[in-house]
Amino acid sequence: MNPKKQAYENLADTLIEKFNARGIEGYYVDNKEEALAMVKRFLTPGCSIAWGGSETLKEIGLFEYLEKSDYELIDRSVAKTPEEQREIYGKTVMSDVYFMSSNAITMNGELINIDGNGNRVACLIYGPRNVVIVAGMNKIVTDVETGIARVRNFASPPNTVRLGLKTPCAEYGRCGNCLQEDCICCEIVVTRKSRQVNRIKVILVGEELGY
């Protein structure tokens, strides 16, 4: 094992202990192939599955796997009207498994997430029976303040470009602290503990994934 991978594993061991103290279930895998294999362990026949927007989930091949599966998929992208969006969101909140990534994770085991509409962080906080988070080790930061700065200046700019938005960060590549209509940094949520023990599961991956 190369030094960088060993350091990732050592840090992950420490983080998993921090997660346990916060009622969060933690795991570490070496690569995205192992991450997908780990994800499958949380799925049961016929379970309902929903997800939040995530490049990480795409990179580990989760969506390709789900498309070929027999699970009940709750896909908000198929909604054609606001009424259909609302109906699908109601099903999302009641899903058995909700997949997402985390925008940042502190060395103390806190999860930091920033959202535009708030649907992703809302499901993280309450609703789905299980929340499974997949995050590359590039998401680890020293503290909450550093994590928020990382998301706003290094994760949000490429996300707004991907979504075709016209925010200052899309144009200049750094946060402009905007209040524009298409701002994707409307909700900032720090999860310091899961009251429902082990409802949240975090799979740390020894690679750089997502933004």
pLDDT for 3-54, tens place per residue? 888 999 999 999 999 999 999 999 999 999 999 999 999 999 999 999 998 9
Strand partners, 113: 189
Mean pLDDT (the chain, rounded)? 95
Residue 147 pLDDT: 95
| Amino acid code (one letter) for 33 | E
For the chain, give the percent of residues with pLDDT over 70: 100
Asked whether residue 174 carries a pLDDT value surpassing 80, the answer given is yes
* CA 46 distance to own-chain centroid: 23
3-state secondary structure of 96: coil
Burial class (CB in 10 A: 0-12, 13-18, 19+), 60: buried
Whole-number pLDDT of residue 77:
85
The pLDDT value recorded for residue 119 is: 92
Helix boundaries (H) for 68-199: 82-93, 119-125, 144-150, 156-163, 168-172
Q: pLDDT tier at 130 (50, 70, 90 boundaries)?
A: very high
Widest pairwise Cα distance in the chain: 52
Tokens of 157: 């700019």
Could you say which DSSP state residue 138 is in?
Answer: G
Q: Mean of the pLDDT values across residues 65-94?
A: 92
What tokens appear for 188 in the block? Answer: 């900032």
Q: Strand 140-141 to strand 104-106: parallel, antiparallel, or no bridges (unpaired)?
A: parallel
Assign 112 to helix, strand or coil: strand
- What contacts 36, CB < 8 A, 6 or more positions away? 60, 61, 62, 65
Helix (H, G, I), strand (E, B) or coil at 18: helix
- pLDDT score for 79: 84
CATH of 3-140+192-205, one of 3.30.56, 3.40.50, 3.60.15, 1.50.10: 3.40.50
Task: Judge whether residue 1 has pLDDT over 90.
Answer: no
Cβ distance 205 to 35 under 8 Å? yes
How far is residue 176's CA from residue 190's CA, in Å, rounded to a whole number?
21
3-state secondary structure of 105: strand
The whole-number pLDDT of residue 110 equals 98
pLDDT band at 144 (very low <50, low <70, confident <90, very high): very high
